[in-house]
C-alpha cells in the first residue's frame, strides 16, 4: 500500500499520512472544497526514509472550483494549453504564500491523476513534465 506524508500548514494538526488511494482522494476532495487556496507538500513514505526525498510534489487546490496546480521537484509547474485569463494564482503554504503562473492551472481530474501516479511510481508524473 502506498503511503504519502502530507504537510501544508505550520500547525502540526495539518500534517499526516495518507494510506492508499481512498485516503488520497478524500484528502484531495477536502482541499478542493475549501474556500481558500492551499498548497500541500506530498512525499512518499519510503522516500522520507532516505531524507531528503528525491522528489517533492506540491499540490494546490481550493479557492476555485475543479482546478488546481501540481509542481514537482523545483522544476516547471503543470501547464494547461490555455491561460485561465489571470496573471497569477496563489496558494497558502505553511506560513506564507506561493504564486504560480495562471497557465499552471489544470483540471482537478489531472491533479488527481498526477498525485496517484506519483504515489504509485515515486517519479515525476507525466502530467507535469
- Residues in contact with 50: Cβ distance below 8 Å, sequence separation at least 6, in sequence order: none
pLDDT tens per residue across span 12-69: 555 678 888 999 999 999 999 988 899 999 988 777 666 666 778 899 999 788 999 9
Tally the domains of the chain. 1
Please give the residue range of the domain that contains residue 19. Answer: 3-128
Which comes out higher in pLDDT, residue 11 or 7?
7
Q: pLDDT digits over 84-109, tens only?
A: 455 788 898 887 888 888 888 999 99
pLDDT of residue 53: 65
Asked whether 101 and 77 are in contact (CB, 8 A), the reply is yes
Cα-Cα-Cα-Cα torsion 25, 31, 33, 36, nearest 10 degrees, comes to -170
2 phi/psi in degrees, rounded to 5: -80, 135
Whole-number CA gyration radius for the chain: 13
Q: Mean pLDDT for the chain?
A: 80
pTM over 0.95, yes/no: no
Instruction: Cell numbers for 31, please give them.
Output: 482541499
Amino acid at each position: 500500500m502506498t503511503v504519502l506524508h502530507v504537510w501544508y500548514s505550520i500547525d502540526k494538526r495539518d500534517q499526516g499520512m495518507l494510506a492508499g488511494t481512498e485516503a488520497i482522494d478524500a484528502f484531495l476532495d477536502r482541499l478542493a472544497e475549501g474556500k481558500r487556496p492551499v498548497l500541500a507538500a506530498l512525499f512518499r513514505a519510503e522516500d522520507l526514509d532516505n531524507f531528503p526525498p528525491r522528489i517533492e510534489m506540491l499540490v494546490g487546490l481550493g479557492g476555485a472550483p475543479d482546478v488546481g496546480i501540481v509542481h514537482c521537484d523545483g522544476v516547471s509547474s503543470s501547464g494547461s494549453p490555455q491561460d485561465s485569463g489571470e496573471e497569477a494564482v496563489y496558494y497558502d503554504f505553511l506560513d506564507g504564500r506561493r504564486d504560480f503562473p495562471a497557465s499552471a492551472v489544470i483540471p482537478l481530474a489531472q491533479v488527481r491523476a498526477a498525485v496517484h501516479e506519483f504515489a504509485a511510481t515515486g517519479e515525476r508524473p507525466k502530467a507535469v513534465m
